[in-house]
Structure 1
Amino acid sequence: MFVDDVVPVAADPDVALFVARTEGPADRTLLVVHGGPDWDHSYLREPLVELAGRYRLVLPDLRGCGRSTQGLADEQYTPDAVVADLRALLEELGVERADVLGFSYGGLIAQRLALTAPERVRGLVVASSSVLPVPANAFDGWAERDRRTGAEARVWSNPSAEGAELTRAAAVAGAEANVWRAEALPEYLRRLEEARFSAEWAKPWRAGTLPSPRCENAVERLAALNIPVLLLHGRQDMTFPAELAEHAAELIPSARAVVLDEAGHMAHVDQPTAWLRAIEEFLEQD
């Protein structure tokens, strides 16, 4: 269903994005921005593939990720560089306007794209991410989260671990924190086995030089754009509190929050049918 391609998006330095895309009308393109960022896009293919044909799906690996260009200097891994890549990608594919779905870290990138190039974005889906900053005490007192997140924290704190295998090990260790339903865990682990991890972004992140992807005054600025926004979240998300999605929807007149029960950060794995239905309804009214 997906056709793989490599699309050049920058010349200084040379950057090409690996892109998985499907058939569908160009004027109904859904650009999907993965999280991580040292992951690839593959963990998001399902259930989105069910939209193929009715919509043209475009799922790139960001620079430094998956099968896209790697080996760049640390200062070349920035949110602004990624946004420039995505704008160039839409240009190369002949897409004037797209609906944009950003997942987790990709949700912050998607907001930045909408605010930087509003003429390119028809509608915005912020999935398992947040428009509002996460308070330092957001998860205080949630013992179950403390239990589930401990394994991944221990992996990242290991001074001898490095490279893509560290990223993979952290993802596997964090699986129970990212997927709420035990029944969904085997499927998620299968996706992690097939994912291509890197460690390009981890270098500036661990060095403390990676710029924040968060846009200042994002709520006010998105409200001023007046584009449709879907805030799609799992109730048991342990990375971005679900309450922030609901609160942001109250502050942005053109936004609607859909919070799925019995779903964690990987809400599309915990509740794939309900997750996809929310996106379909949003795209149909957009």
Structure 2
Amino acid sequence: METTVDVAPGIRLWAQDLPAATDAPEPDPVLLVMGANASGLLWPDELVARLAERHRVIRYDHRDTGRSTWAFDEHPYAIAELARDAVAVLDAFDVPRAHVVGMSLGGVLGQLLLLDAPERVATATLFCTAALGGYGSPDLPAPSPALLALWEQMADPRDLEAELDWRVAHWRLLNGTGTPFDADWFRALERRAIEHAGRHDTTAAHARASQDGLERGAELAAVEVPTLVVEAPEDPVNPPPHSGHLARSLGRGRLVRIPGMGHAVNRTVVAPLAAAVLTQTSGAHSRG
């Protein structure tokens, strides 16, 4: 089921609710929270299908992505407001709490949910992300220079095929060299996201949004919600020191490593990532 969710005056989000493919009593749903400037359609269907074997799955488009409202220049916002949007999506589907799975910026938003709305989070799985306030330490590296240079071009005007070329080049850097890179697969993924949005440009709104309210790393120690941090050893955005730092910062954090994974959910890592999420949502990791 698809719907729209009003989160602020003049701001509406697209959201999709996918039923579990099981007749067993339904556990808490899974809420997928995507990264910056990225539509919810960039969650690969292969991953969604694996999670839907046991869970109802909800995914959505952030503001200024996909079919949600694109209006940052008229209605600027802080990154922290995107976490409140996630709660509004749960409210729209009458979901009292969910297993939150956040990638990259979605992992930052997941941390804000753990701090500000812990009663809405059954468990959390965070990956390809950094702890709140984590870039303040010299021991925690910044994204690779090659990525920073490419990001400078993110909002440049391009025709459709040139935009697809840019996005595939971006995924190539994000993927790293630890797993095979399938350019055709990523091109098809992005073409589908563009068709979903009805436009191929990007305003890079999340890169321009205020980061006020994100310096809250010290509060993570009080988090009581079980949280899994997935370490992606080839991640060029948030290299491995970030994942370990986040897991140690959390009151109930634990760390697992997916060999070869970069800052991308490609076909190679779908199975181990889904297995890690489902182990977390089932609580199996806490049983002897």
Deviation at 1:193, TM superposition (A): 2.6
- For 2:206 and 2:15, the matched residues in 1 are separated by 24
Post-superposition Cα deviations, 1:187-243, rounded to whole Å, max 9, x if no partner, equal 23331232235524x2574xxx5212773232x323212111111131110000112
Post-superposition Cα deviations, 1:88-134, rounded to whole Å, max 9, x if no partner, equal 22112111111111111111112112212112111111111111513
Post-superposition Cα deviations, 1:4-59, rounded to whole Å, max 9, x if no partner, equal x122223x4232221122113665111111112x2211221331321215211000
- For 1:167 and 1:107, the matched residues in 2 are separated by 26
Indicate if the aligned counterparts of 1:63 and 1:77 stay in contact, CA closer than 8 A: no
Q: 1:23 to 1:235 in 2, by over 3 A?
A: same
Q: Partner amino acid for 2:89?
A: L
The normalised TM-score by structure 1 is: 0.81
Q: 1:224 maps to what in 2?
A: 222
Q: 1:68 to 1:237 in 2, by over 3 A?
A: same
Task: Find 2:157's aligned residue among 159, 162, 165.
Answer: 162
Q: What SS does structure 1 have at the residue aligned with 2:124?
A: strand
Q: 1:17 to 1:26 in 2, by over 3 A?
A: farther
- For 2:38 and 2:245, the matched residues in 1 are separated by 29
Q: 1:72 to 1:203 in 2, by over 3 A?
A: closer
Post-superposition Cα deviations, 1:133-157, rounded to whole Å, max 9, x if no partner, equal 13567559x9xx66xx36x725725
Task: Find 1:240's aligned residue among 238, 244, 253.
Answer: 238
Unaligned ranges ≥5, structure 1: none
Q: Which stretch of structure 1 is more off in the superposition, 58-67 or 126-135?
A: 126-135
Indicate if the aligned counterparts of 1:108 and 1:214 stay in contact, CA closer than 8 A: no
Q: What SS does structure 1 have at the residue aligned with 2:69?
A: coil
Moved beyond 3 Å, runs of 4+:
24-27, 72-77, 134-140, 162-170, 267-270
Q: 1:79 maps to what in 2?
A: 79
Q: 2:113 maps to what in 1?
A: 113
Task: Find 1:179's aligned residue among 160, 175, 178.
Answer: 175
2:175 is the counterpart of 1:199: no
The normalised TM-score by structure 2 is: 0.80
- For 2:90 and 2:249, the matched residues in 1 are separated by 30
Identity of counterpart residues, as a percentage?
Answer: 22
Query: How do 1:1-286 residues align onto structure 2 when only pairs under 5 Å count?
Result: 3=1, 5-10=2-7, 12-24=8-20, 27-36=27-36, 38-45=37-44, 46-131=46-131, 133-134=134-135, 135=137, 138=140, 149=146, 153-154=149-150, 156-157=152-153, 161-162=156-157, 170-180=166-176, 181=178, 183-186=180-183, 187-196=185-194, 198-200=201-203, 202-203=204-205, 205=207, 210-212=209-211, 215-218=214-217, 220-285=218-283
Indicate if the aligned counterparts of 2:6 and 2:12 stay in contact, CA closer than 8 A: yes
Aligned residues between the structures: 269
- For 2:280 and 2:212, the matched residues in 1 are separated by 25
Q: 1:278 to 1:204 in 2, by over 3 A?
A: closer
Q: 1:204 to 1:86 in 2, by over 3 A?
A: closer
Deviation at 1:266, TM superposition (A): 0.9
Q: Partner amino acid for 1:85?
A: D
- For 1:204 and 1:117, the matched residues in 2 are separated by 22
Deviation at 1:167, TM superposition (A): 6.9
Root-mean-square deviation over aligned CA pairs:
3.0
